[in-house]
């Protein structure tokens, strides 16, 4: 949008330093400069990479003279998106030339052309000159709304009272006393491969590639999960599960624990039983284990799993042809076990 020697354009990533300058200039004008902590790196990520907000740059004779910072919003009453103007600033020596109005007009045009029906912003109660301009342009003050803000320690304190953690609960299969069993994300794959490759685990596990694990995450018939310690948030293990919904079978294909000797394996297995039989209503829970995995065999037998037999020399590995012992538990066995407990 141009008017004579004026130009209004969308901001680019290269404008990050200029935008920060204008943010600070506006904050100084509003006596709030001490509250500004934005950095170029943060702006690059939150604004440009994540597309969390956008900005306009006003220019006269090719030189920047102001900016407008805005983001998309949504009206539940209208059932439509709108635009929210966060900051509008014009350099003092360039005011009175129509830059502020042209930036608002640009946003109005963007809203209308995008099928939106609302453009709104906040004004300091002491900024009477700006409020007068806005009224002259047809804007009105919403009389029944006050803005409330929660930040810093009060924000964190309220977040601690949340019983349904936003990021965790969405991908959490279940919780045990000390662990959260979370669906793995692509960012977890390096940790999973490190667990598989650890000297105490690698002889008993297939070590998957990055692409294989990525496919498992996206496969509806598999669950790739990590075990997160509740207190430390540290990942202390992982498991790969194959689900056969037609035959109601849960196959525990791989499981590994990094912090051994803490009872995490038993805790996770009991959680798996409960989730498989009570939540998913599976009929059979089974796994295979190599004969030299004495810790695993002791765990599975201690949990009451049935030894179905041995598949002799069923798997070829770097160690040669290996036997696989099959352990399983049936739904009816699980229920009897729970009744005894």
Q: Catalytic site residues?
A: 134
User: Per the structure block, which two tokens stand in for 293?
Assistant: 């995995």
Please state, in angstroms and rounded to a whole number, the distance separating the CA atoms of residues 15 and 4: 23
Long-range contacts of 10-16 (CB under 8 A, 24+ apart): 10/54, 10/55, 10/56, 10/57, 11/54, 11/55, 11/56, 11/57, 11/67, 13/44, 13/48, 15/55, 15/57, 15/64, 16/40, 16/43, 16/44, 16/47, 16/48
| CB-CB contact of 242 with 248 (8 Å) | no
- Beta carbons within 10 angstroms of residue 164's beta carbon: 8
Selection from 319, 311, 328 nearest residue 202 by Cα:
319
Long-range contacts of 331-334 (CB under 8 A, 24+ apart): 331/277, 331/281, 331/282, 331/283, 331/284, 333/304, 333/306, 334/273, 334/277, 334/285
Exposure b/e, 268-287, CB count within 10 A at least 16 = b: bbebbbebbbeeeebebbbb
Question: Tokens 């037998």 map to which residue?
Answer: 301
């Amino acid at each position: 949008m141009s008017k004579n020697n004026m130009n209004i354009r969308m901001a680019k990533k290269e404008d990050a330093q200029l935008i920060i300058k204008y943010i600070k200039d506006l904050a100084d004008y509003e006596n709030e400069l001490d509250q500004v902590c934005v950095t170029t790196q943060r702006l690059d990520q939150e604004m440009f990479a994540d597309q969390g907000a956008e900005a306009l740059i006003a220019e006269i004779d090719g030189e920047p003279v102001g900016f407008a910072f805005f983001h998309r919003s949504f009206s539940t009453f209208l059932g439509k998106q709108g635009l929210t103007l966060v900051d509008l600033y014009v350099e003092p020596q360039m005011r009175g030339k129509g830059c502020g109005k042209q930036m608002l007009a640009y946003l109005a045009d963007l809203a209308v052309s995008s099928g939106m029906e609302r453009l709104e912003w906040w004004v300091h109660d002491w900024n009477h000159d700006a409020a007068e301009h806005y009224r002259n342009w047809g804007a009105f003050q919403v009389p029944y709304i006050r803005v409330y803000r929660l930040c810093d320690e009060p924000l964190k304190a309220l977040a601690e009272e949340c019983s349904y953690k936003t990021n965790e609960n969405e991908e959490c299969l279940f919780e045990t006393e000390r662990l959260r069993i979370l669906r793995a994300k692509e960012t977890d794959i390096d940790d999973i491969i490190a667990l598989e490759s650890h000297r105490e685990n690698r002889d008993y596990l297939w070590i998957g590639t990055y692409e294989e694990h990525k496919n498992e995450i996206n496969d509806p018939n598999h669950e790739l999960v990590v075990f997160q310690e509740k207190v430390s948030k540290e990942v202390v293990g992982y498991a790969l599960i194959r689900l056969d919904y037609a035959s109601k079978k849960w196959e525990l294909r791989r499981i590994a624990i990094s912090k051994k000797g803490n009872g995490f394996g038993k805790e996770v297995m009991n959680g798996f039983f409960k989730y498989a039989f009570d939540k998913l209503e599976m009929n059979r829970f089974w796994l295979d284990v190599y004969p030299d995995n004495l810790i695993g065999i002791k765990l599975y037998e201690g949990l009451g799993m049935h030894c179905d037999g041995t598949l002799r020399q069923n798997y070829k590995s770097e160690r040669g042809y290996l036997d696989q012992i099959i352990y399983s538990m049936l739904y009816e066995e699980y229920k009897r076990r729970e009744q005894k407990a």
